[in-house]
Chain A
Amino acid sequence: MPRDVTARLSPALAVSETGFVFDPRTGHSFTVNPTGLFALRALQAGRPLSEVVTQLAQEYPEMSSLEEDLQGFVRQLTALGLAVVGAEGNSP
């Protein structure tokens, strides 16, 4: 995974402590598991995907294929219109 790739999240996206995600533009809501919430928080902080993988590995050392899982997660976010992937990362 290139170091500078980011997934820029919609700035209006509301994420609760429990993993409830609300998009105020569409009124759609989602839930994420603790791993997804951790990744989402890191993406909201503007971390590149490679750094998010590193942080996930430190937080969840027992998990394997984290890079693949994160890519799948980001693909889902992109398909739902919640994120835009790119070197600079335009807001969705």
Chain B
Amino acid sequence: MSAPLVVAVSGLHLGENAQPGPGIIRSLREAFGSRIRVVGLAYDAFDSALYAPGLLDDAYLVPYPSVGPEAYLARLLEIHAECRIDLVIPCLDVELPLLDRLAGELERAGIRCYLPTREALMARRKARLPELGHTASVAVPETRVVTDRGALSDAASALGYPLVIKALFYESEVARGPDEAESAFARLSAVWGLPLLAQRFITGEEYDVAAVGDGTGDVLGAVAMRKTIITRLGKAWGAMTVDDPAILAVARRVIQSLRWRGPCEVELLQDRSGMIHLIEVNPRFPAWIYLSAAAGNNLPERLVQLALGQRPARADVYRTGVFYVRHAIEAIGTVADLDEIYSHGRRSTAPPASGSEPPVVLPPPPAIPVDMLRI
């Protein structure tokens, strides 16, 4: 029996701003079963998937990408030395430029990635969305770059309220007047830095398309959904698969224009007149990606096949009317878990899938004063 495929996945926190890792892992487990081993790459000891039953076989702490390529590579190679990673699936936007720089060295070490080109990554940036919209023949809400408070005021005068204010990487807020715009500017610039983007607010239905591109412009699989429950942060807490040829055609044109290689999510908005607007292209799978597997078009499985040099057939068929509602529960850990991950940078005793083993009776927590914990 051949050794299982070892896949390292990041983006492990299912919080208010849910990350894609857990959905990708569920999809891969469904596709590959015992033929896969999943190694979690965690940025924080409180990443929720570390404590969720049945997701991870192994997990390691990694430094934030801001440490730079050398330190990040060194950590990945340390982990590789212990568990022989075959493939890394990055799940956070900020990891992409870093892994792009490291791809050659990772490949020499035997670690594969399936990444978009640097040009495609740049072309999908929020600040260049109007250009992309022009190339792909899709409308884009009017957008202004906001470098300071004066530019914010100018943008508000030009675009009116409500006004969407976005950080370059993550997060956005809808401001309904000058006070809210000022507050959004202060918060988003403090967290994510400048510039920000101000975008005209459009009323309509939000659709997202998750897809896998092969880098030539071909789309090997795509699943469209309509958001049914939207959080305060604009994230989909619930969604349903749909099959609108117009929505899927726009997403395909965007992916073809970018010659996108790897997973992505195209966010679209259909206004009341039926016009479709491009809102964003995310360079990774979305947090809702398990819906693709549930609807019968397992996109993470296709990504793995592509990364392994296989050529999966194009799959355009999936079931419509399949929906999810995110169900948040408490994943439980103890100070002993924190001790393990802080002391060793590794959590090798990830909780098993429920029902697969008898429950573990935990010893009482050690009497460690809280201020001694390295949190």
Contact = CB atoms under 8 A, between A and B. Distances in A.
Size range of the interface on A? under 10
A26 B226 contact: yes
A29 B241 CA distance: 12
A24 B321 contact: yes
A22 B228 CA distance: 14
A61 interface: no
Contacts of B323: 27
Interface residues of B, number: 14
A14 interface: yes
B321 A25 contact: no
Contacts, number: 28
B339 interface: no
Contacts of B242: 24-27
Interface of A: 12, 14, 22, 24-29
A25 to B, nearest CB: 4
Classify the secondary structure of B's interface with A. Answer: strand
Contacts of B228: 27
A81 to B, nearest CB: 8
Contacts of B240: 27
B321 A26 contact: no
Contacts of A28: 226
A26 B321 CA distance: 9
Nearest to B240: A27
Interface in B186-237: 205, 225-226, 228
A14 B321 contact: yes
A14 to B, nearest CB: 7
A80 B228 CA distance: 17
A78 B242 CA distance: 20
A29 B240 CA distance: 11
A36 to B, nearest CB: 20
B288 to A, nearest CB: 13
Nearest to A28: B226
Nearest to B274: A81
A12 B245 CA distance: 12
B320 interface: yes
Interface in B238-279: 239-245
B268 to A, nearest CB: 13
